[in-house]
């Protein structure tokens, strides 16, 4: 049953009266009203006017197994009947919490075997910051407190996660973010390559970490934190030699490596995790979004055996959330992972969806002078819009090129996200061959109209 028993105008008026939206342009919201989504099935959504829309963003990079999975809703209902809530504090657990941790140890890389639950990527990363400090306390090096992230990195919205992120606009809100966070260049070859080969740039960008460590002093640096492919910063995938060099530097200076797998995890790049794709072994990893395909809020931190040992013997781990390991979220996440396994979704992403998707994007870039580059890996892409791609002239920020393209796309029945001057795409992993064609046709139409708009 559709929950659209009101007209769009009625929903919009009610929403405007009482709902305060996160990450939202409130001026535009006031002028245009909210878009009301009422139903999802597979890779498609329906709005309150009955329009069918292809969700090129899998919600917020999360609905990996697609909308409308009855097997997930049945598991949730059953768990709600049986045990809707119990906590994981004070030496307690329940079957879904136990089973999910065991399942995670099966699907994550071999060296990651211990899991802590939270409810969102932000909370998990916030906790990791504390755990990194606890780890170094336990190792007798309490001064190793500084954490290095990257410009345009995104790790969440709490004060600590915002401090760790490299998003200038977010730091304008409130100001005075936490000390002991540093940032290095994002490995964006197209923007910062300056005549280097991709390989030269990969080393150059990774070596920024070494320079930063030497500047601060290795005895003060606790960890390097990065998304395998930076997502919210505009989908920035590094050259192949970047991550192995980062790993080398972390080992050389005795610094923990943390992979934020909130977007890349659970199949996005055609591998289970981004670290599998790039061939690295982080000490700690963050998971959320695709962990439950967004059906329930849940996140998890994965620890290597070494990190866990250090935390384990520290007495009471005085950190956690009422809903850490919520039984319904755990039951749904467990079933979600079983679906990924049983239906071989990640294998199909790698062998079928990714080649068709990336080939289609390549053709789009050939046919549109407005496209500077298409980047990303797997089913995660950034389409860089340029005023004049041939001469590498950027749109002015005020021209709002990506927002305009996004709004045109939605009229064609396609959701893409606008990040600065980039169109960002991250469809459900279950996108079918015909839906990939639909995506490419709609993106093509939106880009053609955007080009016409800018004449
Ligand atoms: N880390 C990454 C890489 C993300 O992309 C996000 C959200 O987009 C987060 C962390 C924060 O997750 P949440 O919004 O669940 O707090």
- Residue range 309-363, pLDDT digits in tens: 998 777 788 899 999 999 999 999 999 999 999 999 999 999 999 999 999 999 9
pLDDT at 93: 95
Q: How far is the centre of ligand 1, averaged over its atoms, from the C-alpha of 204 (Å)? A: 27
Report how many domains make up the chain. 2
- Asked if residue 185 and residue 56 are part of one domain, the reply reads no
The range of the structural domain enclosing residue 82 comes to 71-343
Q: What is the CATH number of the domain that holds 75?
A: 3.40.640.10
DSSP letter at 388 equals B
- Asked if residue 193 and residue 313 are part of one domain, the reply reads yes
- Asked if residue 125 and residue 250 are part of one domain, the reply reads yes
What tokens does 307 get?
């990190």
Q: How far is the centre of ligand 1, averaged over its atoms, from the C-alpha of 390 (Å)? A: 34
Best residue among 61, 160, 260, 262 to mutate for probing ligand 1's pocket (most ligand atoms within 8 Å of CB) is 262
User: What atom in ligand 1 is closest to the CA of residue 260?
Assistant: 3
- 387 exposure class (CB count in 10 Å sphere: 0-12, 13-18, 19+): middle
- Asked if residue 402 and residue 287 are part of one domain, the reply reads no
Summarised one tens digit per residue, pLDDT across range 11-32 is 999 999 999 999 988 888 889 8
* ipTM rounded to 2 decimals: 0.99
Q: Which residue's alpha carbon is at the smallest distance from atom 1 of ligand 1?
A: 155
Q: Which residues does 451 contact at the CB level (< 8 Å), separation at least 6?
A: 368, 369, 370
15 lies in a domain? yes
Last residue of a domain, one of 289, 322, 343: 343
Q: Which residue's alpha carbon is at the smallest distance from atom 13 of ligand 1?
A: 121
43 lies in a domain? yes
Q: How far apart are CA 98 and CA 115, in angstroms?
A: 10
68: left (phi over 0), alpha (psi -120 to 50) or beta: left
Arithmetic mean of pLDDT, 180-204: 97
User: What atom in ligand 1 is closest to the CA of residue 297?
Assistant: 15
pLDDT at 25: 87
Whether the per-residue pLDDT at 4 is higher than 80: the answer is no
Arithmetic mean of pLDDT, 418-436: 98
Last residue of a domain, one of 343, 376, 400: 343
Q: How far is the centre of ligand 1, averaged over its atoms, from the C-alpha of 157 (Å)? A: 8
- Asked if residue 300 and residue 158 are part of one domain, the reply reads yes
User: What atom in ligand 1 is closest to the CA of residue 227?
Assistant: 3
Report residues whose beta carbon is within 6 angstroms of any ligand 1 atom. Answer: 120-122, 125, 154-157, 227, 231-232, 260, 262-263, 288
Q: List the one residue out of 124, 99, 103 whose CA is nearest residue 113.
A: 103
- Asked if residue 118 and residue 262 are part of one domain, the reply reads yes
3-state secondary structure (DSSP) of residue 372: strand
- 425 φ, ψ (degrees, to nearest 5): -135, 140
How would residue 171 be classed by pLDDT, with cut points 50, 70 and 90? Answer: confident
Q: How far is the centre of ligand 1, averaged over its atoms, from the C-alpha of 158 (Å)? A: 10
Last residue of a domain, one of 327, 343, 359: 343
- Asked if residue 122 and residue 228 are part of one domain, the reply reads yes
Q: Which residue's alpha carbon is at the smallest distance from atom 10 of ligand 1?
A: 155
Q: How far apart are CA 106 and CA 240, in angstroms?
A: 26
**CA 130-134-296 angle, 5° bins:** 40
Best residue among 150, 156, 228 to mutate for probing ligand 1's pocket (most ligand atoms within 8 Å of CB) is 156
- Asked if residue 161 and residue 276 are part of one domain, the reply reads yes
Whether the per-residue pLDDT at 1 is higher than 60: the answer is no
Distances (CA, A) of 184 to 127, 165, 166, 226, 254: 22, 11, 9, 11, 18
Q: Which secondary-structure segment (H or E) carries 38?
A: strand 37-41
Query: pTM of this prediction?
Result: 0.97
Summarised one tens digit per residue, pLDDT across range 84-120 is 999 999 999 999 999 999 999 999 999 999 999 999 9
pLDDT at 174: 79
Distances (CA, A) of 170 to 25, 161, 167, 173: 13, 11, 6, 6
């Amino acid at each position: 049953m559709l929950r659209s028993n009101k007209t769009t105008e009625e929903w919009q008026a009610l929403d405007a009266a009482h709902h305060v939206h996160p990450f939202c342009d409130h001026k535009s919201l006031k002028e245009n009203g909210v878009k009301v989504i009422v139903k999802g099935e597979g890779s498609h959504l329906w709005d309150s006017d009955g329009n069918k829309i292809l969700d090129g963003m899998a919600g917020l990079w999360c609905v990996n197994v697609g909308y409308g999975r009855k097997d997930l809703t049945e598991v949730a209902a059953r768990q709600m009947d049986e045990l809707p809530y119990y906590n994981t504090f004070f030496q307690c657990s329940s079957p879904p919490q136990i089973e999910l941790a065991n399942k995670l140890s099966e699907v994550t890389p071999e060296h990651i075997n211990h899991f802590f639950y939270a409810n969102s990527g932000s909370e998990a990363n916030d906790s990791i910051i504390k755990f990194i400090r606890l780890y170094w306390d336990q190792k007798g090096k309490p001064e190793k407190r500084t954490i290095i992230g990257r410009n345009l990195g995104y790790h969440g919205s709490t004060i600590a996660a915002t401090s760790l992120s490299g998003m200038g606009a977010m730091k304008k809100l409130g100001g005075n973010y936490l000390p002991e966070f540093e940032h290095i260049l994002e490995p964006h070859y197209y923007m910062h390559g300056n005549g280097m080969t991709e390989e030269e740039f990969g080393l150059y960008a990774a070596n920024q970490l070494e320079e930063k460590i030497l500047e601060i002093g290795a005895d003060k640096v606790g960890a390097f934190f990065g998304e395998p492919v930076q997502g919210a910063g505009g989908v920035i995938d590094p050259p192949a030699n970047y991550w192995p060099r980062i790993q080398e530097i972390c080992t050389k200076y005795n610094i923990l490596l943390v992979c934020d797998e909130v977007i890349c995890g659970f199949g996005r790049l055609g591998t289970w995790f981004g670290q599998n794709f790039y061939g690295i072994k982080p000490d700690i990893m963050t998971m959320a979004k695709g962990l439950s395909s967004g059906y329930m809020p849940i996140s998890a931190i994965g620890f290597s055996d070494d990190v866990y040992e250090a935390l384990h013997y520290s007495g009471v781990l005085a950190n956690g959330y009422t809903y850490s390991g919520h039984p319904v979220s755990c039951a749904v996440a467990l079933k979600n992972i079983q679906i990924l396994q049983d239906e071989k979704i990640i294998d199909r992403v790698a062998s079928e969806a990714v080649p068709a998707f990336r080939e289609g994007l390549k053709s789009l870039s050939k046919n549109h002078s407005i496209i500077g580059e298409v980047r990303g890996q797997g089913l995660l892409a950034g389409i860089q819009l340029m005023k004049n791609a041939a001469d590498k002239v950027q749109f002015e920020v005020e021209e709002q090129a990506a927002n305009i393209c996004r709004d045109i796309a939605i009229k064609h029945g396609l959701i893409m996200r606008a990040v600065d001057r980039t169109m960002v795409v991250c469809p459900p992993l279950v996108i079918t061959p015909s839906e990939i064609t639909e995506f490419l046709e709609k993106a093509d139409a939106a880009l053609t109209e955007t080009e016409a708009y800018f004449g």
